[in-house]
Amino acid sequence: MDPTDAKASHVTAGGASETARSGTHLAPSAEINALSRARFWNRFLWVGFVAAIVAAAIIGWNTYRDVRDSDDWSKWIVHTQVVLQSLDRAQADAFSIVTALPSFSRGGDLRPAKLTIPVTKMWHEIAALRALTRDNPAQQKRLDQADRTLRRVAELTGAVIHNAPTTHQQQLSRSASLTQLGDALVPFRDNLAAMSLMEQRLLTERTAEARMTSRQSVVVMGVGGSIILAWLLLIGGYASLTSSRLRQTSQALVASREELARSAAREKAEERVRALLETAPDAMVIVDRDGRIVLVNAQTEKLFGHARAEMLGNLVEMLIPARFHGQHPLHRSGYFANPRVRVLGPGLELYGLRKDGSEFPIELSLSPLQTEDGLLASSTVRDITERKRAEAEMRSLNEAERRHAARLEAVNQELEAFSYSVSHDLRAPLRSIDGFSLALMEDYADQLDVEGKEHLRRIRAATQRMALLIDDLLKLSRISRGEMSHEVVDLSAIARGIVGELQEGEPERSVECVVPDGIEAHGDSHLLRAALENLLGNAWKFTSKQPHAIIELGVLQRDGQPLYFVRDNGAGFDMAYADKLFGAFQRLHSTAEFPGTGVGLATVQRVVLRHGGRISAEGTTGKGATFSFTLHESLGVSNGE
Amino acid sequence: MENKLILLIEDNPDDVALTLRALKKNNLGNQIVVAGDGVEALDYLFGTGAHLGRDTSVQPEVILLDLKLPKLDGFAVLRSLRSDRRTKLLPVVIMTSSKEQQDLIDGYGLGANSYVRKPVDFERFVEAVRQLGMYWLVLNERPPTAPSN
């Protein structure tokens, strides 16, 4: 974990919590305002509501009354008109009598029907009117008078009809009756006219009353409607206000929910940071500008041996050995002046101080931490005791390695110098010995007897053998030195070449050589050739006394690895001396029996070892020998030095 | 073969004696100049030091050069020879005891014309010297003499 990252997230979280806090701080006053406003609106709306209810009730009542009254009025109006029509008809009847009277008086048409029908009709009308105006006492009184006058009219009519005039007297009396009838009709008609007038006045009154009522209704409706409208407007206004308020509230709700989620996430992040801090493999100490410890983790407790409570609020110097106290505040102020991520330790000798007073080497990384409480320094403290120990061990190991390598190098150089010197300087004296021995033999032959000459011959033979030994020794040393290449080597082809050379050297010998195709090995072709030269050369040499010599090169698979072998049916060897076979200059046969220096098998073993393999020999005296070797058995084994 | 010279650069008196003996055996003994170390050899070739005033237009037919020499070793002598106009074409045969691979590489690398390992067996040594004399003094055509100035 990169401590700076954790710090950064921590800081962000702190900043967010601040804004959230200020947000909730603002809320109450706004809420109180909104609340009082709502309460006011509430009351206002209630009053409006009651008013609207009342208005609606009044309108309802009014409407009901209007409907009911208008029914009454129309009935009344119709009734009045019926009455008026009835009065009109009675008037017309009375008028028809009046118009009939002159003809009666002149003695013209005297049909009684002309009088009786209208009278009868008038009775009907009066009866009808009495029924119609039952509720009107004034009209009834007038009807009573009309009734009385009509009765008089009817009497007079009867008199007129039944007393047909035969005499003049009678004529006179009839005309008097007619006059009386006419007179009697006048009050009747007046009466009817009065009734008619009254009915008309009533009609006018009722119409006016109806008009009045409807005007009132209009007023009531208008006022009530206005009240309801006003209330509706109020409701509408309130609703729109409320809805916008609601919208705000819901927005605020959403925002607060988001804020909640954010704060939960922040909590979680902080929890994570805390968990990270606590489980961090290193001790973490967060220090303020004054050097006071603000925060530590569990590792700090473990590392320094102080309980958390002992450290928090104290100066960080408590974790630092006293000898560094002098410069530490200076370093700290320097750091706070130029805060950046720094790793201290490599190349610096830094130490921590435990509670028990012991010190331990540390590596320190510092990172600045911008928080709401100001700039802090977060330090990650790592105990590097183990690393130092390991480094020291590594150093000493490296030192040992280096010394060893140097020693090896020195040995190699010595060997190099030795073999160079051997090849140059040891041979020169041998040449002198041999050369001057021969010079003696040539120049002083006459002064030497047979024994003297034989001595010189031995001297020369020894020097030449020594030269051979030196050459083989140099070959062996050359095998051990030098770079190795790694390639696929065709052992079959090399073996055939070697056998061919051996055969050329001793063409008279008949040797059966078994070399199958395709025997391959991985390694250095020159070294492998040297090994095969020695092995096949040995086989060739030690089968020289065998009439039917067989030399075989082969390969077997053993433990999943190729096992190469060179077998012969030659002189063989005693297994008791098998361990001496591979030593340099070790020989199991005399030079007289089989020539050689005893370096060949040492060379083979060197080659095999340099390839990381092993060599072994099996043999029976007189029955031949088998040399088996592996390569690359243990890769990475030293070069066989 | 009157004016045909061989320059033998060899510090070991035994080897000088044996080489001279071998040359004599092959009738080449009178035409040998021996230098005991590298400095003397260069003095002879360039007519300086002990050989001051020598006619440097007369140069050996072949130089037999040992590698292990006091003062200047064989490689240094070879380098000087090959970097001088007068001697850079002279046939040089390294004749030494060793056949160390590095010596072979360095010797040929510096421009030796041949590399012969002195056999311990003196009979074979004589034979080698004979063959060398035959080859370099008889068979081989020497390079044209560089104009002296």
Look up the CATH number of the domain holding residue B30: 3.40.50.2300
Give the pLDDT band (50/70/90) at residue A3. Answer: very low
Q: What mean pLDDT is predicted for residues A141-154?
A: 83
B118 touches chain A (CB under 8 A): yes
A428 interaction partners in chain B (CB closer than 8 Å): 12, 14-15, 97
Q: Is the Cβ–Cβ distance between A406 and A461 less than 8 Å?
A: no
Q: Buried (b) or exposed (e) across A531-544, using 16+ Cβ within 10 A?
A: bbbbbbbbbbbbbe
Q: What are phi and psi of A410, to 5 degrees?
A: -60, -45
B3 touches chain A (CB under 8 A): no
Nearest to A541 by CA among A620, A601, A586: A601
Q: Within 10 Å of residue A386's Cβ, how many Cβ atoms? A: 10
Would the CB atoms of A427 and B97 count as touching at under 8 Å?
yes
Containing structural domain, residue B106 = 10-119
Q: Buried (b) or exposed (e) across A567-592, using 16+ Cβ within 10 A?
A: bbbbbbbeeeeeeebbebeebbeeee
Contacts of B66 (CB under 8 A, 6+ apart): B9, B10, B11, B12, B15, B74, B94, B95, B96
Give the per-residue pLDDT at A495.
94
Q: A82: exposed, middle or buried (C-beta count within 10 Å: 0-12, 13-18, 19+)?
A: middle
Architecture per CATH, domain A385-482, reads as Orthogonal Bundle (1.10)
CATH topology of domain A281-383: Beta-Lactamase (3.30.450)
Q: Helix, strand, coil: what percent of chain B each, to 5?
A: 45, 15, 45
Measure Cα distances from A467 to A65, B117, B121 in Å.
Answer: 158, 12, 9
Tell me the pLDDT tens digit for each residue of B14-69. 989 999 988 888 887 667 899 998 999 999 999 998 888 888 888 899 999 999 88
Would the CB atoms of A427 and B99 count as touching at under 8 Å?
no
C-alpha neighbours within 13 Å on the C-beta side of residue B13: 0
Q: Is the Cβ–Cβ distance between B69 and B42 less than 8 Å?
A: no
Q: What percent of chain A has pLDDT over 90?
A: 11
Helix (H) or strand (E) holding A558: strand A549-558
Give the per-residue pLDDT at A11.
42
Our CA-based measurement puts residue A415 at a distance from the nearest CA of chain B, in whole angstroms, of 13
Contacts of A636 (CB under 8 A, 6+ apart): A612
Q: Of the ranges A109-113, A307-311, A389-393, A620-624, which one carries the lowest mean pLDDT score?
A: A109-113
Q: Helix, strand, coil: what percent of chain A each, to 5?
A: 70, 15, 20
The CA distance from A153 to A184, in Å, is 6
Q: Within 10 Å of residue B47's Cβ, how many Cβ atoms? A: 17
- List the alpha helices (DSSP H) in A307-361: 308-311, 328-337
Our CA-based measurement puts residue B34 at a distance from the nearest CA of chain A, in whole angstroms, of 18
B21 touches chain A (CB under 8 A): yes
Would the CB atoms of A423 and B12 count as touching at under 8 Å?
no
Would the CB atoms of B14 and A424 count as touching at under 8 Å?
no
Q: Which of residues 453-492 of A touch B (CB under 8 A)?
A: 460, 463-464, 466-467, 478
Q: What percent of chain A has pLDDT over 70?
A: 91
Which tokens belong to A43?
Answer: 């009351």
Give the pLDDT band (50/70/90) at residue A100. Answer: confident
Residue B82 belongs to some domain of the structure: yes
Whether A343 shows a pLDDT value over 50: the answer reads yes
Residue B46 belongs to some domain of the structure: yes
- In eight-state DSSP terms, residue A293 is E
Give the per-residue pLDDT at B147.
53
The CA distance from A96 to A101, in Å, is 9
The residue of chain B nearest to residue A419, with distances taken between CA atoms, is B100
Tell me whether 0.85 is exceeded by the ipTM: no
Would the CB atoms of A423 and B99 count as touching at under 8 Å?
yes
The residue of chain A nearest to residue B120, with distances taken between CA atoms, is A431
E runs forming strands in A384-439: none
Q: A136: exposed, middle or buried (C-beta count within 10 Å: 0-12, 13-18, 19+)?
A: middle
Domain count, chain B: 1
Which tokens belong to B126?
Answer: 């004589």
- In eight-state DSSP terms, residue B29 is G
Give the pLDDT band (50/70/90) at residue A17. Answer: very low
A415 touches chain B (CB under 8 A): no
The CA distance from A149 to A231, in Å, is 66
Whether A170 shows a pLDDT value over 80: the answer reads no
Q: A175: exposed, middle or buried (C-beta count within 10 Å: 0-12, 13-18, 19+)?
A: middle
Q: Within 10 Å of residue A164's Cβ, how many Cβ atoms? A: 10
Q: What mean pLDDT is predicted for residues B84-92?
A: 91
Q: What mean pLDDT is predicted for residues B131-145?
A: 87
A347: helix, strand or coil: coil
Which amino acid makes up residue A511? V
A120: helix, strand or coil: helix
Residue B80 belongs to some domain of the structure: yes
Which tokens belong to A220?
Answer: 């009531």
Give the pLDDT band (50/70/90) at residue A165. Answer: low
Dihedral-angle region of residue B146 (phi above 0 means left; psi in -120 to 50 means alpha; beta otherwise): beta
For A484-629, CATH gives 3.30.565.10
Which tokens belong to A47?
Answer: 């009053």
Beta partners for residue A549, in sequence order: A511
Residue B1 belongs to some domain of the structure: no
Residue B102 belongs to some domain of the structure: yes
Helix (H) or strand (E) holding A365: strand A359-371
> Tokens 């040929």 — which residue?
B108
Q: What are phi and psi of B60, to 5 degrees?
A: -65, 155
Characterize the bridge pairing of strands A487-490 and A293-296. unpaired
A-B Cβ pairs (cutoff 8 Å, strict): 62
Tell me the pLDDT tens digit for each residue of A519-546. 999 999 989 999 999 999 999 999 988 8
Question: How far is C-alpha A618 from the geometric centre of its chain's CA atoms?
Answer: 73
Give the per-residue pLDDT at A345.
66
Residue B50 belongs to some domain of the structure: yes
**pTM tops 0.90, yes or no:** no
A44 touches chain B (CB under 8 A): no
Whether A126 shows a pLDDT value over 50: the answer reads yes
| Mean of the per-residue pLDDT values of chain A | 81
Residue B115 belongs to some domain of the structure: yes
Characterize the bridge pairing of strands B62-65 and B6-9. parallel
Q: Within 10 Å of residue A89's Cβ, how many Cβ atoms? A: 18
Which tokens belong to A498?
Answer: 């070697």
Residue B138 belongs to some domain of the structure: no
Question: How far is C-alpha A393 from the geometric centre of its chain's CA atoms?
Answer: 46
Beta partners for residue A489, in sequence order: A521
Q: B95: exposed, middle or buried (C-beta count within 10 Å: 0-12, 13-18, 19+)?
A: buried
Q: What mean pLDDT is predicted for residues A593-616?
A: 85
Higher-confidence residue of B145 and A119: namely A119
